[in-house]
Structure 1
């Protein structure tokens, strides 16, 4: 029965190849490996990949067809969950507006809820049923995103040597990495890594692990897949669990995939980004700020109000050493691919680093278009940025006018800051 319900959620699904664009960052670059003008804009040769450094060779995305609009969503939830408390109603309406999310894509649909009315009963033991549906859903999403990335890459699937799979939405043995390997037709000796339950920084962790694999295995090609489904945490809204209201207004479902490898083959492969460095750091004594627990009714989260302030206080200490690696550029001289955990997170980063508003426009646009898709979201931001870079390059006679250097940042349980130092090679 689970298969039929999941298939209904994906009926008519079309895989996205990153066709949506957004406004660009407008400041300059430091001119690494090419001539620059006074304002730092590339004026001569195209940017070349550095020997031995991991590059992003393709990106794919996929979402369910079930679309959720935040406009009017509060009234829907109030009716569905019979929320009588006027304070709760007002808070939910305010959250649906202040998250800035316009559209999300969800696996959960009327058919699933009609089949499982207990999903909306507080305390009901439904984790087994949720995991059965979610496991199939994240596999389907991951398959579609990976198929899109491999198609864009343009080389045989047999050339994939490593698979990194990231999800905070499923728990099973064997994991989604095996199912995806078989469905994609990867070689039986493909080297697989699973990263489970990392939350919103999982995509950035997957990029770091893929980078290490690519650079320590010459000639390798790594397929990174992130896939998330909110059904595991979809439950009756309760005033006793205020974060449920945030989740109802903010999170969506979706998958992303990237093909990555060092030393791209001329003509056969086209690199978009290069990873110079990747790493993470946790903020001491903050393990309870983001707290997630799996119980008989699914996953429940608690999010501390102090999270935006913690990020604001600590983000500069994470970023400063990275800018020293590239000659001490100013924050507004680089591009920013920041995981849009919510508008408060983006506002905290923007405020602390004194970023020009356009620097986080790609992240804000992804948040508007998809909501927070946990591990997948930072890859969506990268895809938005590369599509706009390519569009600008075409408009400027083949010259890449975007900043060459940039930072990818994501935040999650720990509290953990995960990031990568990137070059734009578009």
Structure 2
């Protein structure tokens, strides 16, 4: 059963600032802290390779001490608003009606909503009452690809159906004003908010790249590398400095068996659609791909323009490829990493 990605659509949050305009806020945030830490924080922001980022939060809201409850209320309100706008835009782009969606997957890890976003979208867009819904909340940056994997499995089992994968993230909601750890500082420097929707189908006459295969790879004894701790103040970022080395150690074991089972090598892949976790991960993977004669220029550009938007980011990268006239039979590989620790892969063919 053939499954194809029909469209990818993004919506930018209403607030945006260039990195240079955020630096005065850092001075306010770091008031009373050691000057060395302040200088280091500014340097981290300046060297993060993120020129600007977008936010569902007004900048002063981000840098104002509020309760976890208040931040989560803003997150929920704004996620519903931008999520509704996003899916409407995606459906218009695809010329689909909302009641033609058979399977809706929403992914987000930066706030807590019960009921989840999909319930609000079903009501706002008047989707069918029998639409199958799946909220994915704990797979972090990998969840954009995870959502595609789950949608593919559903569509392969159900010919002639349609699925929507909706990623809406607000890392700004997880910024802790009283946390001066390196994990919080680095995440503040590299993350931005974003929203993206992918529409897929198993209809026989569909257009778009075909999903040829999917795979997950789980690292043993690596739960500590990435995630959130739920604290009284909010979601506290966990970001271990060993992440790049762990990826490097496992990279060939992730990539090569997946390609081999599809009778391919790296040479056969024309387009790499990689999630930009941050500067260090980007440089690591870029060096590995350079050795293979490949590049991840689009990944670098998405990081520069928007920052790391957790699960939505790789869909922004994918959109850049979807908007091009890629020759028939060329192949692409999507790859992302997330809490667990895990890697998610999708093989595409145009």
Q: What is the correspondence of 1:238-249 to structure 2 with a 5 Å cutoff?
A: 238-239=179-180, 241-249=181-189
Q: 1:197 aligns with which of 124, 132, 138?
A: 138
What RMSD in Å do the two structures reach over aligned CA positions? 2.0
Q: 2:25 aligns with which of 59, 73, 76?
A: 76
Q: Could you say which residue in structure 2 is the equivalent of 1:375?
A: 311
CA deviation string 1:35-83 (max 9, x = no partner): xxxxxxxxxxxxxxxxx22101111111212112112423321224415
> How many residue pairs are counted as aligned between the two chains?
350
Q: 1:101 aligns with which of 34, 46, 50?
A: 50
The answer as to 2:77 corresponding to 1:128 is no
Residues 348 and 83 (structure 1 numbering): CA distance in 2 closer, same or farther, change over 3 Å? farther
Q: Could you say which residue in structure 1 is the equivalent of 2:201?
A: 261
The answer as to 2:123 corresponding to 1:187 is no
CA deviation string 1:212-245 (max 9, x = no partner): 1111111110011011112431221544x11111
Q: Distance in 1 between matches of 2:22 and 2:4?
A: 40
Q: Distance in 1 between matches of 2:264 and 2:101?
A: 37
Q: Could you say which residue in structure 1 is the equivalent of 2:335?
A: 409
SS at match of 1:359: coil
Q: TM-score, with normalisation over the residues of structure 2?
A: 0.94
The answer as to 2:14 corresponding to 1:58 is no
Q: Could you say which residue in structure 2 is the equivalent of 1:334?
A: 270
Structure 2: which 5+ residue stretches go unaligned? Answer: none
Q: Could you say which residue in structure 2 is the equivalent of 1:364?
A: 300
Residues 255 and 130 (structure 1 numbering): CA distance in 2 closer, same or farther, change over 3 Å? same
The answer as to 2:346 corresponding to 1:420 is yes
Residues 411 and 331 (structure 1 numbering): CA distance in 2 closer, same or farther, change over 3 Å? farther
CA deviation string 1:222-273 (max 9, x = no partner): 011011112431221544x1111111111111111011011343xxx4x222
Q: 2:229 aligns with which of 281, 293, 296?
A: 293
SS at match of 2:223: coil
SS at match of 2:73: helix
Cα drift, residue 202 of structure 1: 0.8
Cα drift, residue 113 of structure 1: 5.9
Structure 1: which 5+ residue stretches go unaligned? Answer: 1-51, 120-125, 394-399
